[in-house]
Amino acid sequence: GRPAMNDVLARRERVLGPALSPLTYDRPLYLVRGSGSRVFDHEGTAYLDAYNNVPVVGHCHPRVVAAIARQSAELNTNTRYLHDSVVELAERIIATMPNDLDTVMFFNSGSEANDIAWRLASIHSQATGAIVTDWAYHGVTTLTTALSPESWPRGEKPEYVETIPPPDDWRWSVNAEPIGGDIHIDEAVAKLRARGIAPAAFFVDSLFTSDGIFNPPPTYLQEVARRLHAVGCMFVADEVQCGHGRAGTHLWSFQASGITPDFVTLGKPMGNGHPVAAVVTRREIAERFASGADMFSTFGGNPVACKAALAVLDVIEEEQLRQRAHKVGDHLRGGLMELKDRHEAIGDVRGAGLLIGVELVADRETRTPAPGLARDVLNGMRQRGVLIGTTGPAANVLKIRPPLVLSMSEADVIIETLDASLGRAHSPAYA
């Protein structure tokens, strides 16, 4: 039989160490099975998964499972040999991108994809400086950690990195700072230049997931891109978290702004859990790199990974999951807005499609974050059978990011469960 929860917990403590992946929840969750938007724990209790974006087409989708199993039984090699799967996947991805983005390279994780995008960008621009948002997350490698203020030990900003505030129009409106008025790009470039560093690339998650989830008007990223290109700085759209239909209106969230990035990085949901990631860029950028060096990723773009990624694209299309994210996301945000009328602690409800942030505050006037309340709501919702997360620099923004198969009635369950969890937890003392 399955080892008992306390046994696994104690053994995990001994062998995994404290550095990687602290467990979520006061009482850890021991999950053993999943299907669609549901996961089940070791005692058979079902949870509505309103948090995990990796199983974008639903946990253990039979199409993806079968594609992986079939290809595993047939052949799994690497991209030094011809195989149709990697070509087909590249063609399928390119067909969804702006025209200039005509070249794809495959890797195994979002971190790797961003790491490679950085190498290509710095070679192409012949510069060494990076710009990211204040609380960005772009990966776990040494380089991508440098691009991830969320992961910096206090005060340890690398010399070649500058940050800009995310477009937090809810908080900015308090100080009457309009979006697009001062987007801080020029300031960041000037700070780098003052240290003798030219900007190579700006990395951004177009829905600002780790910054607290923001969905600025299209003019925001247009203006950012315009100012970056004016100083020769390349634009990397990190779609690792917010891509694959989550935004609802478009397959890739940067498309809502109508911009053409120099790089798009893909990962997380790309294989519905099977490791596969990609960098999409222009041919000339890849050629400049190839003229100076050779690059090979052992697992990147292998036939099994490609079949998983193709199956995910098929299911998103056939089950119209992007359209569903749009419809169900609007319904969910609407219901959460109504909760705001009844719960003082809800300061703001925002996002796009099925990426939704609910900001909890101790005081709506001052907009003081309420991280203690957010933690209690997170645990309270789990108690009631719904899994969500928290995000933002103060960890006071509830993060709702379910598989895109979420139904209208499941959206209602999320709303009712948040209502109940806030009802119990709410108290001004929680700030």
| DSSP track, 114-134 | HHHHHHHHHHHHT--EEEEET
CA distance 217 to 373: 30
Q: How near is the Cβ of 112 to ligand PMP at its closest, in Å?
A: 7
Q: Which residues contact 67 (CB under 8 A, 6 or more apart)?
A: 307, 308, 310, 311
Choices 132-140, 177-185, 349-357, 388-396 (CB under 6 A): range interacting with ligand PMP: 132-140
Please, which residues bridge with residue 151 across strands?
none
Q: How near is the Cβ of 45 to ligand PMP at its closest, in Å?
A: 27
Tokens linked to 166:
């995310």
Q: How near is the Cβ of 275 to ligand PMP at its closest, in Å?
A: 8
Q: How near is the Cβ of 9 to ligand PMP at its closest, in Å?
A: 23
Q: By C-beta, is 145 or 222 nearer to ligand PMP?
A: 145
CA distance 409 to 380: 20
Place of tokens 């070679």: 123
Sign of CA dihedral 118, 121, 122, 128: negative
Tell me if 380 sits within 8 A of 405, measured CB to CB.
no
Residues 169-208 as x/- pattern, contact with ligand PMP by CB under 6 A: ------------------------------------x---
Q: Quick one: which of 55, 129, 139, 380 contacts ligand PMP (CB under 6 A)?
A: 139
Q: Quick one: which of 5, 31, 65, 140 contacts ligand PMP (CB under 6 A)?
A: 140
Q: By C-beta, is 111 or 417 nearer to ligand PMP?
A: 111
Q: By C-beta, is 278 or 328 nearer to ligand PMP?
A: 278
Q: By C-beta, is 79 or 253 nearer to ligand PMP?
A: 253
Number of residues that make up the chain = 431
Q: Which residues contact 325 (CB under 8 A, 6 or more apart)?
A: 245, 246, 247, 248, 353, 354, 404
Choices 3-11, 118-126, 134-142, 243-251 (CB under 6 A): range interacting with ligand PMP: 134-142
Q: Kindly determine how many residues on this chain lie close enough to bind ligand PMP according to the rule CB under 6 A.
A: 14
Residues 87-126 as x/- pattern, contact with ligand PMP by CB under 6 A: ----------------------xxx--x------------
Which residue's Cβ has the minimum distance to ligand PMP? 110
Footprint of ligand PMP on residues 263-292 (CB under 6 A)?
A: 267-268
Q: Quick one: which of 162, 168, 238, 376 contacts ligand PMP (CB under 6 A)?
A: 238
**Does 255 help bind ligand PMP (rule: CB under 6 A)?**
no
CA distance 105 to 276: 11
Q: Is 2 exposed, middle or buried, given 0-12, 13-18 or 19+ CB atoms closer than 10 A?
A: exposed
Tokens linked to 85:
């799967």
Q: How near is the Cβ of 141 to ligand PMP at its closest, in Å?
A: 8
Q: How far is CA 211 from CA 289, 293, 299, in A?
A: 32, 35, 31
Q: By C-beta, is 115 or 376 nearer to ligand PMP?
A: 115
Place of tokens 């969890």: 421
Q: How near is the Cβ of 268 to ligand PMP at its closest, in Å?
A: 6
Q: How near is the Cβ of 144 to ligand PMP at its closest, in Å?
A: 7
Q: How near is the Cβ of 239 to ligand PMP at its closest, in Å?
A: 8
Tell me if 295 sits within 8 A of 79, measured CB to CB.
no
Q: How near is the Cβ of 417 to ligand PMP at its closest, in Å?
A: 25
Q: By C-beta, is 204 or 415 nearer to ligand PMP?
A: 204
**Does 137 help bind ligand PMP (rule: CB under 6 A)?**
yes
CA distance 306 to 200: 31
Q: Is 196 exposed, middle or buried, given 0-12, 13-18 or 19+ CB atoms closer than 10 A?
A: exposed
Q: By C-beta, is 240 or 328 nearer to ligand PMP?
A: 240
Q: How far is CA 171 from CA 38, 179, 181, 366, in A?
A: 35, 11, 15, 9
Tokens linked to 126:
């012949």
Where along the sequence are the contacts to ligand PMP (CB under 6 A)? Answer: 109-111, 114, 137-140, 205, 238, 240-241, 267-268
